[in-house]
Amino acid sequence: MTTATLAPESVGLTREEYEEIRRRLGRDPSPLELRMFGVMWSEHCGYKHSKLTLQLLPTDNPRLLQGPGENAGVLDIGGGWAVAFKMESHNHPSAVDPFNGAATGVGGIIRDILAMGARPIALVDSLRFGPLHDPKSRRQAAGVIAGIAAYGNCVGIPTVAGELVTDPGYRGTPLVNVACVGLVQHGEVARSRAAGPGNPVMLVGARTGRDGIGGAAFASEELDTASEREDRASVQIGDPFAGKLLIEATVDALRAGGVVAVQDLGAAGLTCASSEMAARGGVGMRLELERVPLREEEMRPDEILLSESQERMLLVVMPEAADRVASIYRRWGLGADVVGEVTDGPLLTVHRAGAPIVSLPPYALAEAPVHRPAAREPDTLRARWAMPEVPQTDPAQALLALLAAPAVAVKRVAFEQYDHMVQVRTVVAPGAGDAAVLRLPELPPKGLALVCDGDGRLTSLDPYRGARRAVAEAAANLACVGATPLGLTDCLNFGSPENPEVFWTFRQAVTGIADACRAMKIPVVGGNVSFYNESPDGPVLPTPVITMVGLLEDVASTCGAGFRRADDMIVLAGGTDPDLAASFYVSAVHGMHAGRPVDVDFDAHQRLLAVVRDAVARGWLSSAHDCSEGGAAVAVAECAALGGLGADVMLPGAPRADIALFG
């Protein structure tokens, strides 16, 4: 095959990008090399449209042990221990194969945490679908929830928090964002930087098959009506039992010593893992494809290099530790094969039957070109800020309608399928409080709190304020269980960055997150950008999702959201000037997607959260709940329902009852 038979466009590259490849190599790439560039320079792997904008996010913090650029962020939690956490999307695979797309999303994010040397202890998911009366959306929701449950439950990691949102804006493209949290001691934090020429490169875990080939490039494309049929082969197939064995074997191998670097094989498989490890370490790497254990016969070199078969990791080990590390994996029933070595030359070389078939500088693959997309404020944005007259509605009927809305209704359909008690750390379970709370037997009496928040509806009305509100609400949820924010990871779900209005929205949302984090001194330790969430129905609602982790000094002091005792006083703390603009009430009850979201006063917000945290720590509160979708009335109703009690309340005066109740 000649280079001329493979057009750049066939692997998702532009002519300009092809010329950049020629400039970096000083020659034409071979067809195999071009396929490798196609996946590595995809949006999913290369972040070529978002990299410059992401530099706005603050990362510095005294607790920071590892920020963006590795498999996950790591923050100190005291006593020589640290928490590792990250969030990723699996939107495109879940759209075409909901069960396997969601299940492998869970498996992939678990391995990211494992690659930091941390033992995974909890999962968090944020799920968004079209209206559930639509058969396709209902089928996607059922498949995704079952896939998350199947993998998480089998691998023994509790799913303890999340979101389940339905909106017509997600009908064509569901959003499946999954975060994982793990614990690691300071001296055991692992990295993915290859080092030591002559050190063996070892492929561990499952065998390599043809599943998932091209998955990274597929995740960088828009979906159409044929995608469900044509792209199913690009969806990986996971094995949670092998995933559980991989966790135990890798924890054992890292503790035994001799492992220099470790990397998950996810998007772009062996191509991505080898090139990123070599590029980060400033070394070369030689791979021998005949040493890769295969699950299928007669696999081509491109299939081996681009396969996204699950439950695999790539290690660089010391020569004297190779046999010991291999024996650990084999003891757990997993493969462990030396497939190459680190070299001191600046090249990634791939050989088959002794003959070189690839020779590339690792940085050329791992560092995609940076694009500067055009940005333009949407033409209709400011017109949507105008609030029409909201008709008067019977408050009781409006409250019932809000409580029945999927965004507010109890999410038992999801969390009852998840095992949230495995590992016996869970103190505040899903649905019982504003955030999940986990005990830390490693650091008694401390605890961790986890939450995720996002609001595509608000972000579509004002991306800057909507993103700021997501950060503020996540911090409020943590305060309600008595936790102080440590840091956050985000998942940024948008349409095509080549659409100037979409990219303007994306940039405004990132700026909002950055400004909110600076105001609250919360570092962004990592995250994920998912572009091209589009279908024939158009772009998905712009949806930045925030997963925030908090620390409790004494987990015994936490509280849930449900009322606990009759005759307790109910206090509405904070601002008492409600507004119907952009409220969930006008959207869910009156069908109005209008108004500009009220911005957050972070000085006042910080003071309020400090008071709430202090009150929880002192044991003064029997319950705490933030007012969000549906306002104060929905918040009181939720607290009453959770506690099995009633409530008699008098809200501050307002020009209309619905403003006081639902603003």
Active site residues: 44, 90
Q: What is the DSSP string of 552-575?
A: ES-GGG---SS--STTPPP---S-
Q: CA separation (Å) from 107 to 96, 240, 438, 569, 629?
A: 18, 7, 21, 45, 32
Of 635, 599, 631, whose CA–CA distance to 458 is shortest? 599
Provide the 10 A C-beta neighbour count for residue 3: 15
Helices of type H across 47-194 = 51-54, 91-96, 98-114, 135-155
Tell me the pairing of strands 436-439 and 447-453.
antiparallel
- Residue 99: partners with Cβ closer than 8 Å, 6 or more residues away: 143, 144, 146, 147, 150
Q: What's the CA gap between 102 and 105, in Å, rounded? A: 5
Give the Cα separation of 93 and 178 in Å (integer): 13
CA distance 10 to 643: 58
CA distance 146 to 101: 11
Could you give the dihedral angle defined by the CA atoms of residues 502, 507, 513 and 514, in that order, rounded to the nearest 10 degrees?
Answer: 170
Report d(CA 218, CA 212) in Å as an integer. 9
Q: Helix (H, G, I), strand (E, B), or coil: what is residue 312?
A: strand
Alpha helices in 333-387, H assignment, sequence order: 362-366, 381-384
Q: How far apart are CA 55 and CA 48, in angstroms?
A: 13
Q: Give the CA count within 13 Å in the CB-facing half-sphere of 553.
A: 6
Q: Which of helix, strand or coil describes residue 254? A: helix
Q: How far apart are CA 661 and CA 663, in angstroms?
A: 6
- Angle (CA) 418-424-425 rounded to 5° is 95
Q: How far apart are CA 174 and CA 628, in angstroms?
A: 23
Backbone angles phi, psi at 603, to 5 degrees: -65, -50
For residue 78, the cross-strand partners are: 81
Q: Nearest CA to 470 among 482, 484, 452?
A: 452
Cα of 440 vs its chain's centroid, Å: 23
Lookup: tokens for 464: 């800057």
Burial code of 474-504, b = ≥16 C-beta within 10 A, e = fewer?
bbbbbbbbbbbbbbbbbbbbbbbbebebbbb
User: What is the rounded CA–CA span in Å between residue 172 and residue 136?
Assistant: 9
Question: Do the beta carbons of residue 402 and residue 589 sit within 8 Å?
Answer: yes
